[in-house]
Structure 1
Amino acid sequence: MTPQDEPLVTPIESAVTDVPESLLSELKEILQRDVEQVIKITDATPEASSSTPVEPQIEAGLSSSVIVIDDSVHETEVTELAEHDRILIVDQDEPDVRFEERRRKRERRERLKNQRWKLILGAGVAGVIVVLIVLASPIFKIHDIDFEGKVYASSDKIEQARVMLRGQTIFSLDSGRVEQMLSQDPWVDDVRITTHFPRRVVVEISERQPVVWFLGGDNKARIIDASGYVISVTVGRPTKYLQVTGVGPSLEAGAVADDVYRAAAQLFVALPEEIRPKTKELGVSVSGELSMTLASGTLVRFGPPTNLQNKLVAVVVLLRRQDPAGLAVIDVSTGEPTVQPR
């Protein structure tokens, strides 16, 4: 018989309520068991003495592949069991031993680093304290004070400097303040202070060199150096220095004279040794012209205080050729020397 010859069988329709009660119960049990075996979550707490995670018990009857996820506090381990095909998630709270060891090492390094910085800071503070103690030690307090080069410098300034120096140590000495105070004396050109271990100080004073003097309008003498700096103002007439005749400005000590008086001082310094002893005086006229009188009575006219070097060379050459005793006037004011005999 062929399939075409087989009679058609009409299916019998039945309602759900027509299924026997025993069959429904059996199906319910099967479904319930499958659901429970698909995902099983166990919260296992291992013993404190064991560092190995406890694997969950898997029923032998399961035929599917199971993946175990061990979710610890810091790491998650996934274990695949080849003979099962379902997923099993295991949540464990035990911290990882390696992580705890790394954390302890990191904390130890931080503690050592902090301790090192504390030691460095403490050593620095201790060093500062030691330095301060040494600086304040009476062993290094200045005891011997020597002044060198003092001739005309003010005795009051010298004593003031002595008071400022005494009581200090050679390490804490403020030499700049002492030098500035001494430099206020018009006689003082430069000051140099040196310390000698352990308690000696030497003050070297370089004084200005007086060259000439002139009379001011107040009838007081002004002693100046080669730069025209007024070193001293005196009531009497100095005898150690050459006079510049004429009436000059009434300047105070520490001021600078006019150009013509500065030129007179520089002219005297430039005089050769063969002529300087023969010079009696220098003079400044009302019009500001410069002149020189020799001991023989010869008058040398330099005119305005310009080009003095060439004028002085002409005078020296002339005096070497002729006896100044036979000359009344030597005029180099124009640059070309002219002679007026006696």
Structure 2
Amino acid sequence: MRRPTPLPTPEEPPRRAAADRGGSARGAASDSAPALAPEAQRREIPARASASRRRSSEPAAAEETAPIPEWIDDAPLFAPEPLRPVDREAVPVDAPAEPPGEAEPTVRLGDVWRSARARRRAIRSEVRRFTVRQRRRRIVWLSVIAAVVLLIAASIGSAYSPLFAVQRVDVVGTSQLDAQTVAHALSGQIGTPLAAVDESAVKAALVQFPLIETYTVEAQPPHDLVVRIVERTPVGFIQYPSGYSLVDAAGVQLSMSSTPPSGYPALTVSDTSSTAFRALGAVIRALPTQLRSIVTAGSAQTADDVTLTIGGTGTRIVWGSADESAEKAKVLETMMVSRPPQGVHVYDVSSPSAIVVQ
């Protein structure tokens, strides 16, 4: 802001006029006054010099000073200059002044590329510094996963490789069948990797043996194939015009012969697929070994009408249904001890809690 210019003081012109008048009066007096003594003149000279200096420092004479308008008294001492808006973009405040005569440096593409590359390197370095733990955990997990994958791949590869090929077939659980005959039927699996054994081929080879009820195949590394067999249990034979058929409790024909098989009872049923035959087969299978060995015949018209015959004496055992067969067999053995079959015609165990002997 510019400093205001002071206005002249109204009292100065009258004082200047009075001074002029006083000077004139003093001049006249000096002209009329007698000459002063030398000491008085020496004192007056400095006074005149100081007065002249004072007069020279005062403003111009009253006649040279313009008259002061009346409105000056009511006007403010100074008028502020209006502020101008400053364009900060055009004139930056902190921008250093460029030295005169110095040209602006040129920016090359290579310098820009090198600066960007250095910046990218610095950013990558900071990222690596702040992600050390995360990268370590990732490396550990990737290592574990890779080890598991390699282990699985190695296991699968070795299982299907000749290192684990079948070199021997073991047959377990046969009593009526010849184990060597069954193993020879499975010889087609020799040389096959344990993991690639053909289940359908094994089943087709074992179907040739009717005495096999169920089987399981187990691979025992490095070179053994174990076949566990559950044989069918014959319950008796049925006489047909063509011969005698040995059957199990399910009615499956196990063998055919022209003579009655020894050690098995003769069965009299209308059909091997009927409920009466299934009940008869279940009863014979539930008999203890000692009791089964003396039974020579069995018959059933319905599922609740099972009857057995003891050989030698012809004693009949009225069994009833196949329910509670174990309890009935236990009660029958106890009764046969106290009442042997030689003196008994009928054992009625259809109700095990109330056995009847005739």
Taking structure 2 as the reference length, the TM-score comes to 0.51
Q: What's 1:168 paired with? A: 192
Change beyond 3 A, Cα 1:299–1:166: same
SS of alignment partner, residue 167 of structure 1: coil
Secondary structure at 1:211 match in 2: strand
What pairs up with 1:300-339 in 2 under 5 angstroms?
Answer: 300-333=317-350, 336-339=354-357
Q: CA 1:205–1:299 in 2, change beyond 3 Å: closer, same or farther?
A: closer
Q: Distance in 2 between matches of 1:236 and 1:123?
A: 67
Task: State the partner residue of 2:218.
Answer: 193
For structure 1, which segment, 318-327 or 212-221, has the greater mean C-alpha deviation from structure 2 after superposition?
212-221
Give the share of equivalent positions with the same residue, in percent.
17
Following superposition, the deviation at residue 160 of structure 1 comes to 4.8
Structure 1: gaps (5+ residues)? 6-37, 39-63, 68-78, 252-256
Change (3 A) 1:280 1:132: closer
Give the 3-state SS of the residue equivalent to 2:280 in structure 1: helix
* Cα deviations by residue, 1:98-123 (Å, 9 ceiling, x for unpaired): 431243688999xxx9xx9xxx9x99
Q: Counterpart of 1:268 in 2: which secondary structure?
A: helix
| 1:246 corresponds to 2:263 | no
Counterpart residue number, 1:16: none
The correspondence for 2:296, drawn from 277, 280, 284, is: 280
Once residues 239 and 296 of structure 2 are traced to their aligned partners in structure 1, the CA distance between those partners, rounded to angstroms, is 16
Per-residue Cα deviation, 1:279-315 (whole angstroms, up to 9, x for no partner): 3332224787211112322112223444444544443
User: What's the counterpart of residue 293 of structure 1?
Assistant: 309
Counterpart amino acid of residue 356 in structure 2: T
- Give the superposed CA RMSD: 5.1
Deviations 1:205-253 (A, max 9, x none): 332333333346875514104xx3525141434524422431442x6xx
Deviation at 1:130, TM superposition (A): 7.9
Q: Are 2:276 and 2:303, in contact at CA under 8 Å, matched by a contact in 1? A: no
Q: Conserved in 1, the CA contact under 8 Å of 2:220 and 2:226?
A: yes
Question: Is this contact kept in 1: 2:307–2:316, CA < 8 A?
Answer: yes
Q: What is the CA–CA distance in structure 1 between the aligned matches of 2:122 and 2:98, rounded to whole Å?
A: 42
Q: Which amino acid aligns with 2:211?
A: W
Q: For the pair shown, which has the larger CA radius of gyration, 1 or 2?
A: 2
**CA-to-aligned-CA distance 1:160-185 (integer Å, 9 cap, x gap):** 5321x123123x43264455445645
> What 5-or-longer segments of structure 2 have no aligned partner?
1-65, 71-86, 128-134
Corresponding residue to 1:223 among 229, 235, 247: 247
Q: How many residues are matched?
A: 253
Kindly provide the amino acid, as one letter, of the partner of residue 197 in structure 2: D
The normalised TM-score by structure 1 is 0.53
Q: Is the 8 A contact 1:158 1:182 kept in 2?
A: no
Q: Aligned pair 1:2/2:67, yes or no?
A: yes
